[in-house]
Structure 1
């Protein structure tokens, strides 16, 4: 794992796989607001995914006359946001015990509540601004195939209820027995299930919708403009950052890295702290015996050492009923260690591709029915996540580096972190002392970038581990 973490990420590859969500590209996919790249700006944001788009929108909402330029290496929202599985799902119980142990109870509760709030805020934002992204708040279910996960999941849920209160929506879970789960969710091999609040959407459509709102507030978007390098200079008490691109350079006193798995390319101090992770997703037509307009729930399928995540396109959306399923990393040797440090999203990993094409029939068994006459597979693609050394994002000012800010490394859970992380980051950047205290009150301080966190060592993606990870042994080899 140390060797994989040390691989330089480089720039995003040209001509990546096209995701299911990008089949109809947004009309801002190749936008350059101005013909020439500006030479200066008050703020420069690198990255146009949900983080970068949220940051730009929040900045221009707070400072309407500020000049904000966004640089994107490829098409707009062509990174992890445009390639994910369409889930807004926290599964906070899976990390709660470990967070309590390592960070303290108060911080564990703050993380769980922030994740829940981010889900609610994402769907509320889409609704308020009329973003056509098939935003669907709904229930989700984790189908459990491991006795150990089942027992520890129950323990984590009981602890959340005890410490957060039975009326706290972030601690609201329903535990289903094996018999109930098999009947209710059409999963004949389930050992049990946990049901709670989540949602689904097209993250690509959501982020491009937010990007359009920021453009309406005067954001200058420059696509196909990769940031090749960054450097700083100081004159008196003023630090200026220069971003070099193939189209020229742009200077700014405030440089924001919303670059997720690619961050170490521009800022090598994050090498071995933010490690790229190659993931895959497949879109399928449902079997003939499954609901043809989609399930009421989204799903995860939790095994002893890994999981898959699945949504169905909701009724009334384009391609309603389609299944979108991702994961499969655990099918590779050493729990997929070979996929860390990998940034080639132009290709698919064959073992994972084969597994994802077939696994749904195993999960639903005879409830699947016959494959669609047009075939099961509609689209498959890959994308690059960013995994952090301690399992939490890096949000805030880079220590001892004036003018450099970051919101990156979301460990595959960007849709339950990015929106609120962007809000927090902009509050840190633009607010006075009282405003920053408000941010400190609700945003987990364990996710704020610090000198201490920059001394940690990457050992593998934390969220792939089970609830109460210290009580397990199967992942210690990572």
Structure 2
């Protein structure tokens, strides 16, 4: 009898604890994420800011426009957010408007240029883009069957092609912008690595289904590696059962985005950037919108929300549709035993257990050239660091709805510190220090006391914008999401000298569920064409897959309760 009572007490305690955790999770999901907090430089602070490794040293435009007066006249477009999404949108808008077009309405000689303003609550590219893993690693074979069963083969294949296209698109964009060296944009060999037998068997079945049913243009570059010799060549630990090779890319996201923003500011006088200018509120009027900031108001016809995890602060109807979730990234010194032959040329995703929601991802920065090298740039000091991040449970669930990205998560940092070495044991060898991985002390580089002296050089947090149905949200914002009255005007240009944009409105491009580098750029470009009122295909651009579009029906039918288990 005593044993039965003890078991009952245990069940009740467990149920009560689970219920309390669930109720706490529901409250966090329903709450506004608010406005991103500025980092604190006060050493006496109880929670000192941990800067992302990518952002050191800061770009010359990191705090661009923070003290400049805001525009007094109404502007055509305001973009909220200065990460990869906002940058893609801004670039597409100003470049399209500056070129000749078949549409005569865009070619009137007296027509003024489109005016585009970008604002950010913090520094330029200080959000998710400046905090991510630097991996351009599209999820393909392992989602093919689910996407096909949900949306049909043509749409599933369109989504996968859209993801894959980001590898070549980001690299070519870096090349065109003169940023190929600074951004380190390049193709790499990608590998999904499995350590649990049941998970590995499912992955092999997913791969077989994908190779058998998908078109040949999608299956190129995918291969199963499960022999001892193949795994040894990759210097993987013996506990790893096998892996699947796949196409991939890597990039320095901060240098890529801030480099493009710098180019836009230099080239287009009709593009303006104001950092440390948070939008606190949006109000609608008959012909457009007012963007309220602590520094003053901006009047505009179009508002574009490019804030990913922070979207629902200004779009209350997006709460429980895009949910902010805090995760951890690290920059680590590679072990001295690893071969130098593959520095910067591989990327990995490790699946250590059966649960697919638990994984770690790894890319590697390129080593520094010697100072005498003609490409030497003291502001870009990289030394082949391993950029390693990922999810662990229960930490991941506990950080759903948590928006403080100025502090690191101890349990994640501790896990990531040990997991990386174990993934390559016994090839890892002794831990490295700065002198053994070609760190260079140079003018413009971060002071060495900023970085840890052990395996982990830096650890920081970032926010994912977890989408309730795992797909991005792109398009004109319905009133159900904004909770604001829409302007009555049908076109932005009320006079003949204005650009012939779409009808005034709010727009969104967000909710990448941790996969922004294979969704954001092309989604942003497609959204820009929606605002411009032109067809992407007519201009040689790729449109977004239809399931990405935000609609009233999608808002009604997606439920966060159904998504939590899949996250």
TM-score by length of 2: 0.77
1:369 to partner: Cα distance: 0.6
Greater displacement, 51-60 / 214-223 = 214-223
Equivalent residue runs for 1:269-284 within 5 Å: 269-284=317-332
> Residues 136 and 517 of structure 2 are in contact (CA less than 8 Å); yes or no, is this contact kept in structure 1?
yes
Q: Which residue matches 2:461?
A: 382
Residue 180 of structure 1 and its aligned partner are, at CA, apart by 4.0
Alpha-carbon separation, structure 1, partners of 2:521 and 2:366: 23
Q: Deviations over 1:177-224 (max 9, x none)?
A: 152453122112111101111111110001111212222223100000
Map of 1:408 onto structure 2: 510
Shift of 1:145: 1.4
Q: 2: distance between equivalents of 1:459 and 1:26? A: 41
Q: Deviations over 1:282-320 (max 9, x none)?
A: 111111101347253111101322100001112456423
Paired with 1:280 and 1:24, the residues of 2 have a C-alpha distance of 20
The one of 330, 343, 359 equivalent to 2:392 is 330
1:450 is matched with which residue: 546, 551, 562? 551
Residues 1:389 and 1:405: Cα distance change in structure 2 (over 3 Å): same
Greater relative contact order (CA < 8 Å, ≥ 6 in sequence) = 1
Given that 2:536 and 2:542 are in contact with CA atoms closer than 8 Å, whether structure 1 keeps it comes out as no
Structure 2 residue matching 1:386: 3-state secondary structure: strand
Instruction: Return closer, same or farther for 1:7/1:287 CA change in 2, 3 Å cut-off.
Output: same
Look up the SS of the partner of 1:368 in the other structure: coil
For 1:19, the equivalent position in structure 2 comes to 52
Aligned match of 1:241 in 268, 285, 289?
289
CA 1:245 to 1:22, structure 2 compared with 1: closer, same or farther past 3 Å? same
| Candidates 55, 66, 69, aligned match of 1:36 | 69
Q: 2:477: which partner in 1?
A: 398
Query: Do the aligned partners of 1:110 and 1:442 also contact (CA within 8 Å) in 2?
Result: no
- Tell me if structure 1 keeps the 8 A contact 2:311–2:318: yes
Residue matched to 2:383: 320
Alignment-derived partner of residue 421 in structure 1: 523
- Describe the shift of the 1:461–1:76 C-alpha distance in structure 2 as closer, same or farther (beyond 3 A): farther
Of 452-461 and 61-70, more deviation after overlay is shown by 452-461
CA distance 1:262–1:439, shift in 2 (3 Å) = farther
Aligned to 2:136: 88
Going from structure 1 to structure 2, the CA distance change for 1:98 and 1:439 (only over 3 Å counts) comes to farther
C-alpha separation between the residues in 2 aligned to 1:449 and 1:233? Answer: 23
Matched, 1:9 2:43: no
Give the Cα–Cα distance (whole angstroms) in 2 for the partners of residues 279 and 273 of structure 1.
19
Report the alpha carbon displacement of residue 440 of structure 1 after superposing the two structures with TM.
9.9
How far apart, in 1, do the equivalents of 2:541 and 2:152 lie? 16
Structure 1 contact 261–275 (Cα < 8 Å) conserved: yes
- Which residue of the partner structure matches residue 95 of structure 2? 61
Partners of 2:83 and 2:257 within 8 A in 1: yes
Asked which structure has the greater CA Rg, the reply is: 2
Contact 1:178 1:193 in 2 (8 A): no
1:142/1:301 contact within 8 Å kept: yes
Check the 8 A contact 1:123/1:135 in 2, yes or no.
yes
Output the CA distance in 1 between the equivalents of 2:196 and 2:60: 45
1:130 Cα deviation after fit: 1.2
Q: CA RMSD in A?
A: 2.1
Identify which range, 372-381 or 262-271, moves more after superposition. 372-381
Query: In the alignment, which of 46, 55, 67 is matched to residue 80 of structure 2?
Result: 46
Counterpart in the other structure of 1:99: 147
**Match status 1:251 vs 2:353:** no
Q: Relative to structure 1, is the Cα distance of residues 299 and 461 closer, same or farther in structure 2, using a 3 angstrom cutoff?
A: farther
CA distance in 2, matches of 1:408, 1:441: 17
Moved over 6 A (4+): 436-441
SS in 2 for 1:253: strand
For 2:293 and 2:505, the matched residues in 1 are separated by 19
Instruction: Extract unaligned runs of 5+ from structure 2.
Output: 1-24, 40-48, 99-112, 370-380, 434-452, 480-485, 487-503
Contact 2:222 2:245 in 1 (8 A): yes
